[in-house]
Amino acid sequence: MSAALVYALTGAALFVFGVAGLMLQPHLLRKILAFNVMGSGVFLVLVGLGQRAGIPDPVPQAMVLTGIVVAIAATALALALARQLLDLQGEMRLPEEELDKDRLDV
């Protein structure tokens, strides 16, 4: 088993764990962390599969570096919004919407 395949499989597992955390965790900070785990999994898959005949391809590596910068900025924005939600509501949970019967009758 090559190192690239190990990176790709580990990245896929991280992505699945991130999706599970995003769906199952009600706490907003844990959702943000799960989203970061998903992003790390995608980065590992790109690095793992971005090789040609054992030689690393610089294009996927550049995409991963750009993605890391974007992920840091998105995380900072999400944390700032979560902090505002904490100040407004006093808890770090998203408000639950109640289903309207009018919206269900289509």
Write out the residue range of the structural domain in which residue 81 sits: 3-92
- Asked if 51 and 6 touch (Cβ cutoff 8 Å), the reply is no
CA distance 102 to 77: 34
Tell me, yes or no, whether 101 lies in a domain: no
- Asked if 49 and 60 touch (Cβ cutoff 8 Å), the reply is yes
Mean pLDDT of 82-95: 86
Supply the pTM of this predicted model. Answer: 0.80
- C-beta neighbour count of 11 within 10 angstroms: 21
Q: Structural domain tally of the chain?
A: 1
The tens digit of pLDDT for each residue in 91-101 reads 888 777 665 55
CA distance 44 to 21: 18
The tens digit of pLDDT for each residue in 46-78 reads 988 888 777 888 898 999 999 999 999 999 999
- CATH code of 72's domain: 1.10.287.3510
